[in-house]
Chains A and B, each alone.
Chain A
Amino acid sequence: MLSAVREQTEGARFLGRVVEGHLTSPLLLVGDEGTGRRFSVIEAAKDSFGDGDPESAHVLQIDEGVHPDLVVVSAGEKPIGVDTIRGVVDEASDFPAYVSSRFVIIDGVDRMTLPASDALLKTLEDPPHTTRFFLLAQVYENVLPTIRSRCGLVRYRPLSEAFIVEHLKEIEPDPAKALVYARISGGSVGRATQFQLSGRLALRNKMMTLLRVGLNGDFLSLFAAVEDLDVDLPLGLDFLDYILRDLVMLPHSASNFTNLDVAEELVDLRQQIGGPRVDRLVEGLRHLRGRMRAKITLPFHVKTFLASAFTE
């Protein structure tokens, strides 16, 4: 039910108007993954299909993922293709099975092929009166301008730390760690949960070890440690970013830490690395991020960045 949607007031307001039948045009919900875009549309569908009754058969079917009038299409590893969209368009032109208005969620319109976007355009311009379209995107600029202009824009803001910590309570017993997950999630409850379930703090710890190896000045071990990160390297750099931010913040405000659970180790690390080298690392990482747009050989660049930062 829409009342279950918290924090995202703008989204809840717009979806409420759809449920009430005052808004029929397609909506473009833009926000980071895990900020509740899909969740809120599904809750709106429950309200709309079940007429506000949480015990209704429609709600049960939606929960089971088998309601014929709630169509969900998502981009997986590959972008959404034209065939998928043609299927959605065909389905949208039919009458709904049980309810007055069918809900169609297309999750990943910013990762749709050009032919797929073109195939959707005409339907969005003049949507069937029995279908409501909800297009979900993470990057607004990546959505085709002609699609953007046909939809009402609804922004989903990053969720608050308190909300994410509250959500993580059930799976993370350590409140300090829960706060760390909340802080590194960038306001996405989905990402925080994913990090917790996959034990991503181990990767953060690996990045701290990498800095210690760098301190030893032994290139052989340093390069091997970078190679060892393998496919986790891009995410590892995100963690390194948080670690470096903490190392910068240490002398100024210890309360604004991200990695609260390893605060003592960070104090120790900061002492060993020293302020000027921390600055060099921050600068080096900033440069590296700038270059990452060009599909570089990341391990070599990371090795160079670390080797340069740790060489006097």
Chain B
Amino acid sequence: MAGRKPVPFIVFYGGEDYYLDRALEQGGHWPKRQVTVLDGEGMIEEELVAALQAQSFDGQDRAIVLDNAHKFGRKGGLLSTYVENKESSDDRMVLVAVVRAEKLNPVWSAAAKKGRVKEYKRFKPWEDDKKAQRIRKEAKALGLELAKGLPEQLTAALGDDLHLIMNELRKLVYIVGKGGKVELKHAASVVAHMYPAEPYDVSKAAVEKRPNRAMTLLSFLYKHMGDGAWVPVTISLQRLVEKLIVARQLYDDKAPQLVLARAVGVTTDKESAAEFVFRKNWLGLVQRHSLKELLGYMQKLCELEAQVKGPARSKRTLVELAVLSIAA
């Protein structure tokens, strides 16, 4: 953090909490500056700007590390004016802002333009390749080499939470030693057996026609989220089925794979990569359901949503039946 040339603003943002927490921790290390760590939660803009404008008693340069910076950003507010008036070359006060949001609001965008910005994107549930690549990169930083398929196994066992995955990787450093290769048996010895399911996992298992997995994930999800799980599962199923119905129609019309890939939301710039991702993650799903079936699912899911959001009884059974009717 302190190694680079200081700028008045350093902005970290995105949905990946692990990296944001790390940025927050590292943000506090400024050897020749007086550092103040603040939390935007429960703080008002006036307090923040007053802290930014205050000077140290001994004339030392200062840095403020601000967590939950997304709580600020009122257009025309004090902070907005502060950012606007701050010269890019004035680094006596450096503000390190950790914005826990996928997008920057205009105030933080303006701050980012006058300083440095780094995005820590949370990958979509289906972006398995990117997730695996990131786990490998983090393992490498710890001095570990992961066996083939191990990142996928870790994600399957621990979910998307990078905090949990990093904890297990740190344990594995002790098991195999720095520079060692981690095999499945090593991972199995440290990773607790659990399935932290996301609503998307349930819907994916359902459209993959894996009823047992779908039901297991659904019960894990219920344990984790309680009755609050039914609406997210329904919405997740709706989104997936909607994508599949469009893709299936294009597939029936013999549209090129790139068109199909774009229709299901594969955003990779490189065309061949998009086609590859589509073939790997989507083609099987598209082929597994007919257009008529998918239309039937859409209608069922409309009914299900009205039921789970309405006063229906036994919502859990209703969702289970809907998942099973798709998965079976």
Task: Check A307 for interface membership: any CB of B closer than 8 A.
Answer: yes
- The contact string, 1 if C-beta is below 8 Å from chain B, for chain A 267-305, is 000000000000000000000000101111100110111
Q: How far is the CA of A305 from the CA of B298 in the complex (A)?
A: 9
Could you tell me if B302 and A301 are in contact, using CB atoms closer than 8 angstroms?
Answer: yes
Distance in angstroms from A105 CB to nearest chain B CB is 33
Chain A 195-241 residues near chain B, CB threshold 8 A? 218-220, 223
Q: State which size class the interface on A falls in.
A: 10 to 19
Distance in angstroms from A295 CB to nearest chain B CB is 6
Given A220-B263, A223-B246, A303-B242, are A308 and B295 neighbors across the interface (CB < 8 Å)?
Answer: yes
Could you tell me if A218 and B249 are in contact, using CB atoms closer than 8 angstroms?
Answer: yes
Distance in angstroms from B165 CB to nearest chain A CB is 32
Distance in angstroms from A213 CB to nearest chain B CB is 13
Could you tell me if A307 and B298 are in contact, using CB atoms closer than 8 angstroms?
Answer: yes
Could you tell me if B250 and A220 are in contact, using CB atoms closer than 8 angstroms?
Answer: yes
Q: State which size class the interface on B falls in.
A: 10 to 19
Could you tell me if A307 and B295 are in contact, using CB atoms closer than 8 angstroms?
Answer: yes
Contacts of A223 in B (CB 8 A): 242, 246
Task: Check B305 for interface membership: any CB of A closer than 8 A.
Answer: yes
Contacts of A293 in B (CB 8 A): 310
Task: Check B235 for interface membership: any CB of A closer than 8 A.
Answer: yes
Distance in angstroms from B171 CB to nearest chain A CB is 42
- The contact string, 1 if C-beta is below 8 Å from chain A, for chain B 218-255, is 00000000000000000100100010011001100000
Distance in angstroms from A305 CB to nearest chain B CB is 8
Given A220-B250, A297-B235, A300-B238, are A291 and B245 neighbors across the interface (CB < 8 Å)?
Answer: no
Task: Check A255 for interface membership: any CB of B closer than 8 A.
Answer: no
Contacts of B295 in A (CB 8 A): 304, 307-308, 311
Contacts of A218 in B (CB 8 A): 249
Distance in angstroms from B5 CB to nearest chain A CB is 44
Task: Check B299 for interface membership: any CB of A closer than 8 A.
Answer: yes
Given A300-B238, A311-B295, are A291 and B246 neighbors across the interface (CB < 8 Å)?
Answer: no
Task: Check B309 for interface membership: any CB of A closer than 8 A.
Answer: yes
Could you tell me if B298 and A291 are in contact, using CB atoms closer than 8 angstroms?
Answer: no
Could you tell me if A220 and B302 are in contact, using CB atoms closer than 8 angstroms?
Answer: no
Contacts of B249 in A (CB 8 A): 218-220
Contacts of A303 in B (CB 8 A): 242, 298
Task: Check B156 for interface membership: any CB of A closer than 8 A.
Answer: no
Distance in angstroms from A303 CB to nearest chain B CB is 7
Q: How far is the CA of A293 from the CA of B309 in the complex (A)?
A: 10
In the complex, residue of chain A having the shortest beta-carbon distance to the beta carbon of B308: A294
Contacts of A300 in B (CB 8 A): 238, 242, 298, 301-302, 305
- The contact string, 1 if C-beta is below 8 Å from chain A, for chain B 288-328, is 00011001001101100110011000000000000000000
Could you tell me if B305 and A296 are in contact, using CB atoms closer than 8 angstroms?
Answer: yes
In the complex, residue of chain A having the shortest beta-carbon distance to the beta carbon of B262: A220
In the complex, residue of chain B having the shortest beta-carbon distance to the beta carbon of A220: B246
Could you tell me if B235 and A304 are in contact, using CB atoms closer than 8 angstroms?
Answer: no
Could you tell me if B306 and A296 are in contact, using CB atoms closer than 8 angstroms?
Answer: yes
Could you tell me if A219 and B309 are in contact, using CB atoms closer than 8 angstroms?
Answer: no
Could you tell me if B309 and A294 are in contact, using CB atoms closer than 8 angstroms?
Answer: yes
In the complex, residue of chain B having the shortest beta-carbon distance to the beta carbon of A224: B246
Q: How far is the CA of A266 from the CA of B317 in the complex (A)?
A: 45
Contacts of B263 in A (CB 8 A): 220
Could you tell me if A304 and B298 are in contact, using CB atoms closer than 8 angstroms?
Answer: yes
Distance in angstroms from A88 CB to nearest chain B CB is 31
- The contact string, 1 if C-beta is below 8 Å from chain A, for chain B 249-285, is 1100000000000010000000000000000000000
6 extra A-B contacts, CB within 8 A, seeds A305-B302, A311-B295: A219-B246, A294-B306, A300-B301, A307-B245, A307-B295, A308-B299
Q: List 16 A-B contacts (CB under 8 A).
A: A220-B249, A223-B242, A291-B306, A294-B305, A294-B306, A294-B310, A296-B309, A297-B238, A297-B305, A300-B301, A300-B305, A301-B305, A303-B242, A304-B301, A308-B299, A311-B295
